[in-house]
Amino acid sequence: MVTVRAPATSANLGSGFDVFGLALAGPADVVHVEPADETTITVTGVGSQYIPTDPADNTAGVVASALDAPAHITIDKGVRPSSGLGSSAASAAATAVALDALYDLGHDSETLVRAAAEGEAVVSGEAHADNVAPAILGGFTIVTGEGITTIDSSLALVACLPETVVSTRDARRVVPVDASMDALVETVGAAATLTAGMARDDPVLVGRGMRDSVVTPERAELIAGYDDVRDAALEAGATGVTISGAGPAMLAVCYPTDRRAVASAMLDAFDAVGVESRAYQTRVGAGATVYD
Ligand code: HSE
């Protein structure tokens, strides 16, 4: 039996739509795999009642099929589904790494990312690697058609997750089909600034680079209290705030000394609009880890 922990992720970060991803130190999913002739899936933990256990409909089952590695798979969910925190990606990434270790497949990490992205497609409808790449590799990742670039970082983060649910499919329906040249210029500037900030571990640059006027405003409409929560986080010391992935989780970057105040401000602001939420005081973290 092999056990692997894979973390929650944020992908996108305001800018970097479908390109940028970030591994969070927590929360995480834990996946156990045992050799079998046919794949079976058991799911426990947060939101497990909403996750299909038929291998054909489950991210982990699709990964097992993509790797031609049937197994008894047990998923202990720490990342709530439909949160914007890469829930299905965490399960898919952990499963890919666990099966690789279980059967000594020897795949390189890009192959595992591709297999995990196939699992992700079951949930989102498209095979995105922007969540599974950081879930496997850790740190900050840039995924393009040409490959994956990673930058290590230890930036302090707060992810605040309201009790509401936004599916990735619904959040993709509100993405504009085109954008102006002005928006393109702004987006390139923000993405470049964010990347430089990650390389320098500079929360001010990263926060500035989270700006996005194309996708984020449309998706913010799906999150009750978005503007109030963002303003409260900034007031409490966050250097940048945006939607985590497709939402509804919101992600703030800050100095470590401001993390507690930022988390508390975000919780209070959601509470003030009648929405319960929970905050993860975290940082950029490692990718999938095999337990002994
Ligand atoms: N980047 C995707 C989105 C998340 O924002 O829709 C799923 O990969």
Ligand 1: distance of its center to the CA of 245 in Å? Answer: 5
Task: Look at residue 242 and tell me whether its pLDDT is greater than 80.
Answer: yes
Clarify whether residues 191 and 67 are in a common domain. Answer: no
* Ligand 1 atom at shortest distance from the alpha carbon of 21: 1
- Return the residue matching tokens 């256990």: 53
Residue 259 belongs to domain spanning: 156-283
Share of the chain above pLDDT 90, in %: 93
For residues 270-292, give the mean pLDDT: 96
Q: How far apart are CA 185 and CA 260, in angstroms?
A: 35
Ligand 1: distance of its center to the CA of 168 in Å? Answer: 7
Amino acid at 199: A
pLDDT of residue 32: 98
Ligand 1: distance of its center to the CA of 104 in Å? Answer: 31
Query: What are 19-73's pLDDT values in tens digits?
Result: 999 999 999 999 999 999 999 999 999 999 999 999 999 999 999 999 999 999 9
Annotation marks residue 218 as catalytic: no
Clarify whether residues 137 and 252 are in a common domain. Answer: no
Clarify whether residues 137 and 165 are in a common domain. Answer: no
Closest CA to 78 of 91, 65, 66, 63: 91
**Residue 183: which pLDDT band, with cuts at 50, 70 and 90?**
very high
Q: How far apart are CA 9 and CA 152, in angstroms?
A: 14
Split into its structural domains, the chain has a count of 2
Strand, coil or helix: 112: helix
Site to probe by mutation for ligand 1, drawn from 88, 120, 130 as the one with most ligand atoms within 8 Å of Cβ, is 130
Annotation marks residue 120 as catalytic: yes
Clarify whether residues 166 and 237 are in a common domain. Answer: yes
Residue 123 contacts residue 85 (beta carbons within 8 Å)? no
* Ligand 1 atom at shortest distance from the alpha carbon of 175: 6
Q: Based on the number of CB atoms within 10 Å of its own CB, is 177 exposed (0-12), middle (13-18) or buried (19 or more)?
A: exposed
Site to probe by mutation for ligand 1, drawn from 22, 113, 123, 124 as the one with most ligand atoms within 8 Å of Cβ, is 124
Pocket of ligand 1 (CB under 6 A): 11-12, 18, 124, 128, 130-131, 168, 171-172, 245-246
Closest CA to 82 of 47, 126, 113, 118: 47
Residue 9: CATH number of its domain: 3.30.230.10
Clarify whether residues 167 and 64 are in a common domain. Answer: no
Q: Of residues 59, 118, 120, 242, which has the active-site annotation? A: 120
pLDDT of residue 31: 98
Looking at every residue in the chain, the average pLDDT score rounds to: 96
- Residue having the nearest C-alpha atom to atom 8 of ligand 1: 128
Clarify whether residues 212 and 229 are in a common domain. Answer: yes
Residue 174: CATH number of its domain: 3.30.70.890
Query: What are 162-174's pLDDT values in tens digits?
Result: 999 888 888 999 9
Clarify whether residues 138 and 10 are in a common domain. Answer: yes
Enumerate residues 6+ apart whose C-beta is below 8 A from 99: 2, 33, 63, 64, 67, 69, 71, 105
Task: Look at residue 265 and tell me whether its pLDDT is greater than 90.
Answer: yes
pLDDT of residue 56: 95
Clarify whether residues 12 and 131 are in a common domain. Answer: yes
Clarify whether residues 104 and 233 are in a common domain. Answer: no
Q: Of residues 168, 216, 239, 242, which has the active-site annotation? A: 168
Clarify whether residues 37 and 167 are in a common domain. Answer: no
pLDDT of residue 122: 84
For residues 249-260, give the mean pLDDT: 98
* Ligand 1 atom at shortest distance from the alpha carbon of 120: 8
* DSSP class of 37: S
Clarify whether residues 133 and 177 are in a common domain. Answer: no
Clarify whether residues 7 and 102 are in a common domain. Answer: yes
Q: How far apart are CA 149 and CA 289, in angstroms?
A: 19
Query: What are 91-130's pLDDT values in tens digits?
Result: 999 999 999 999 999 999 999 999 999 998 887 777 789 9
